């Protein structure tokens, strides 16, 4: 959303395109920087090759046949713990011993199966494959050794329990064994009967304990047998290398072309975002649409001067450079002003701007010349008593001028200077000596009377005034003129400053005809004709600012013809 004069206008796609075209340097800058950074990063990286080996953590066919397929241990195996084992110092030290130094390997799990993936990176394909295979094999060996060691420890514990139970059984049977020995040695029937009775009674007493011990011995024997079998199977089935790593053919580094494309995409996105942000923060006038959004009529768009028009010649574009786009722009401004003057009794036109250096003097000079070239009797008066510029443009002395008429009573016909050109009916009047207080000077009734006298001598009086915002001179003069033309500079004059200046002029009762936008980009395509430059014999004969001739004639008589007598002391001054 764009806010103009308190109203929100939704930007359309065409508006965004215009913004991006206007802010293209801000798009190009991050694009080039990021692409350059991507290229520098890619070229600075050494080639890296990556290889992968896979280890399956699953029981072998022999284990499945002996323990049963899908045993609980296989199903509940925690692969995270297996990764920790694979990354343990024991495994790492053995790998570095076999490889002759540190290796760069990362281990990850496969979520589709009980696989551990050993990813190795090295500067050569062979080194990458060797590193992955070595780490995988050392892990498998460690895993198998761990399983066998754990089973061996358990077997030893069970065997010890068997020995203890057998000792306990022997101790329990010791009295019985003695009675049986005595029974075997007895000869008398009475003795044998008595001993047999004792043997039977003791067997009955020991039968329960002996049965329990015998059951435990059978169970432990079975467990030991199973564990011994499992120990043999563990050495081949606990972990297996299912896929060996092979030397890769291509490096894993992203190619330069891919990084450049990615950098270009990122840079373009950042550039577009930066351009939109800069444009959103920029509150300056950029086009006629901005002026229309402020509710101000556009009297003309003056493009930036091209190579055919030096900056120093800008104030005289309509006089010396009639074939340029700037001169054509001011001709359109003249037409717009003439149109605005139709049916209105306007004798004086004030030209001002919101801030200094926005093109008001160039507009005053070019518009005055353009109006005079079509048979308008024009008086161009410099009323910027603080920083006068008209005398510099036309290469004449700043004194005497308007201030001399009020302060010293010098007649107007002794102050006016006519540009000696048969194409023009234009008279200029400099400021004269700077008054003690310019603000009070232009606000005085005498200055208003001076303007009325100038209006009586011409079809149109154009006043080059100071800017509105820095000083109050323009507002004081605007109350005494018939109309005001405001000049704005594209890309520099802010919307707020222009609105404030126009509001101030309207507050004092000024009739603001519209705005002339300086330095604007053309908003329409060419009709199809090339600009025809002014004819010249050679580069040396080209008209320059120094070639302008100023006659020292007084203000024109009633027929607008030059008076013959020339006042003394008013010789023309040239650069």
- State mean pLDDT over 562-572: 31
Residue 550 clears pLDDT 60, i.e. is over it: no
Q: Could you tell me if residue 105 is inside a domain?
A: yes
pLDDT of residue 11: 67
127 and 41 in one domain?
no
- State mean pLDDT over 320-345: 86
- State mean pLDDT over 211-232: 80
**408: Cβ–Cβ under 8 A, 6 or more apart, which residues?**
400
34 and 61 in one domain?
no
3-state secondary structure at position 348? strand
Q: Could you tell me if residue 556 is inside a domain?
A: no
- Produce one character per residue of 107-130: b if its CB has 16 or more CB atoms within 10 Å, e if not: beeeeeebbbbbbbbbeebebbbb
445 and 338 in one domain?
yes
Lowest mean pLDDT among 68-72, 397-401, 434-438, 459-463: 68-72
Domain that holds residue 304: 288-523+540-551
373 and 329 in one domain?
yes
Lowest mean pLDDT among 138-142, 332-336, 416-420, 480-484: 416-420
26 and 134 in one domain?
no
pLDDT of residue 486: 94
d(CA 530, CA 272): 35
Ramachandran assignment for 396, one of left (phi > 0), alpha (psi -120 to 50 degrees), beta (any other) = beta
Q: Could you tell me if residue 356 is inside a domain?
A: yes
221 and 343 in one domain?
no
Q: Could you tell me if residue 575 is inside a domain?
A: no
394 and 295 in one domain?
yes
The residue among 281, 298, 333 that closes a domain is 281
Whole-model pTM over 0.85: no
Q: Could you tell me if residue 529 is inside a domain?
A: no
214 and 82 in one domain?
yes
Half-sphere exposure of 500 (CA within 13 A, CB side): 12
143 and 79 in one domain?
yes
452 and 307 in one domain?
yes
Residue 279 clears pLDDT 80, i.e. is over it: no
**398: Cβ–Cβ under 8 A, 6 or more apart, which residues?**
388, 391, 430, 431, 432
pLDDT of residue 375: 80
Residue 199 clears pLDDT 60, i.e. is over it: yes
Please indicate whether residue 371 or residue 289 has the higher confidence score (pLDDT). 371
Most confident of 67-76, 234-243, 529-538: 234-243
Q: Could you tell me if residue 559 is inside a domain?
A: no
Residue 9 clears pLDDT 80, i.e. is over it: no
Residue 539 clears pLDDT 50, i.e. is over it: no
> CB atoms < 10 A from the CB of 234, how many?
23
- State mean pLDDT over 171-200: 82
Q: At what angle do helices 325-341 and 360-372 cross, to 10 degrees?
A: 70
d(CA 485, CA 338): 12
- State mean pLDDT over 416-443: 83
506 and 363 in one domain?
yes
258 and 347 in one domain?
no
Lowest mean pLDDT among 214-228, 277-291, 389-403: 277-291
| pLDDT tens-digit map of 360-413 | 999 999 999 998 888 888 999 999 999 999 988 888 888 888 888 888 888 888
CATH code of the domain containing 457: 3.40.50.300
Residue 142 parent element (H or E): helix 125-185
Whose structure tokens read 């009475």? 190
Q: Could you tell me if residue 532 is inside a domain?
A: no
Q: pLDDT grade, residue 74 (50/70/90)?
A: very low
pLDDT of residue 341: 79
> What are the distances in angstroms from CA 20 to CA 27, 32, 71, 277?
8, 16, 66, 11
The count of structural domains within the chain is: 3
Q: pLDDT grade, residue 73 (50/70/90)?
A: very low
d(CA 173, CA 348): 142
Q: Could you tell me if residue 94 is inside a domain?
A: yes
| pLDDT tens-digit map of 244-264 | 989 988 887 767 788 889 989
CATH code of the domain containing 74: 3.30.1890
């Amino acid at each position: 959303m764009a806010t103009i004069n308190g109203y929100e206008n939704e930007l359309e796609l065409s508006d965004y395109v215009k913004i991006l075209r206007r802010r293209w340097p801000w798009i190009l800058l991050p694009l080039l920087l990021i692409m350059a950074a991507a290229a520098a990063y890619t070229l600075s990286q050494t080639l890296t090759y990556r290889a992968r080996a896979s280890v399956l953590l699953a029981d072998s066919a022999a284990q499945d046949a002996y323990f049963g397929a899908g045993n609980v241990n296989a199903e509940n195996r925690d692969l995270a713990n297996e990764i920790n084992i694979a990354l343990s110092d024991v495994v790492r030290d053995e790998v570095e011993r076999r490889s002759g130094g540190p290796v760069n390997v990362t281990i990850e799990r496969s979520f589709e199966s009980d696989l551990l993936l050993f990813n190795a990176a090295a500067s050569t394909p062979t080194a990458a494959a060797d590193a992955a295979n070595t780490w995988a094999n050392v892990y498998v060996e460690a895993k198998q050794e761990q399983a066998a060691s754990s089973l061996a420890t358990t077997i030893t514990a069970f065997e010890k329990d068997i020995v203890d139970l057998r000792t306990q059984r022997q101790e329990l049977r010791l009295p019985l064994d003695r009675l049986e020995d005595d029974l075997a040695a007895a000869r008398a029937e009475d003795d044998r009967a008595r001993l047999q009775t004792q043997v039977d009674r003791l067997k009955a007493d020991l039968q329960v304990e002996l049965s329990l011990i015998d059951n435990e011995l059978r169970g432990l024997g079975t467990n030991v047998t199973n564990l011994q079998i499992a120990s043999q199977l563990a050495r081949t089935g606990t972990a297996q290398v299912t896929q060996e790593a092979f030397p890769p053919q291509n490096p894993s580094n992203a190619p330069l072309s891919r990084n450049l494309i990615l950098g270009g995409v990122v840079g373009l996105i950042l550039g577009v975002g930066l351009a939109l942000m800069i444009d959103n923060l920029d509150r300056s006038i950029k086009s006629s649409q901005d002026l229309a959004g402020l509710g101000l009529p556009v009297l003309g768009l003056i493009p930036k001067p091209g190579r055919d028009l030096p900056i120093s010649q800008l104030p005289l574009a309509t006089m010396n450079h009639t074939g340029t786009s700037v001169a054509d722009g001011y001709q359109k401004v003249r037409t717009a002003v003439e149109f605005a003057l139709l049916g209105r009794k306007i004798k004086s036109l004030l030209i001002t701007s919101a801030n200094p250096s926005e093109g008001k003097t160039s507009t005053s000079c070019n518009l005055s010349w353009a109006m005079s070239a079509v048979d308008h009797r024009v008086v161009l008066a410099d009323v910027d008593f603080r920083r006068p510029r008209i005398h510099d443009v036309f290469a004449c002395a700043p004194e005497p001028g308007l201030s001399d008429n009020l302060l010293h009573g010098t007649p107007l016909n002794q102050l006016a200077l006519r540009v000696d050109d048969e194409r023009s009916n234009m008279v200029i009047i400099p400021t004269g000596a700077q008054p003690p207080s310019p603000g009070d000077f232009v606000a005085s009734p005498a200055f208003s009377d001076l303007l009325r006298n100038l209006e009586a001598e011409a079809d149109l009086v154009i006043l080059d005034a100071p800017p509105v915002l820095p000083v109050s001179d323009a507002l004081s003069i605007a109350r005494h003129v018939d109309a005001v033309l405001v000049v704005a500079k594209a890309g520099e004059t802010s919307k707020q400053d222009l609105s404030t200046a126009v509001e101030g002029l309207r507050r004092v009762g000024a009739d603001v005809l519209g705005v002339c936008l300086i330095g604007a980009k053309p908003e329409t395509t060419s009709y199809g004709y090339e600009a025809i430059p002014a004819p010249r014999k050679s580069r040396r004969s080209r008209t320059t600012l120094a070639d302008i001739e100023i006659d020292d004639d007084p203000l024109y008589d009633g027929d607008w013809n030059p008076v013959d007598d020339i006042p003394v002391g008013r010789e023309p001054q040239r650069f």
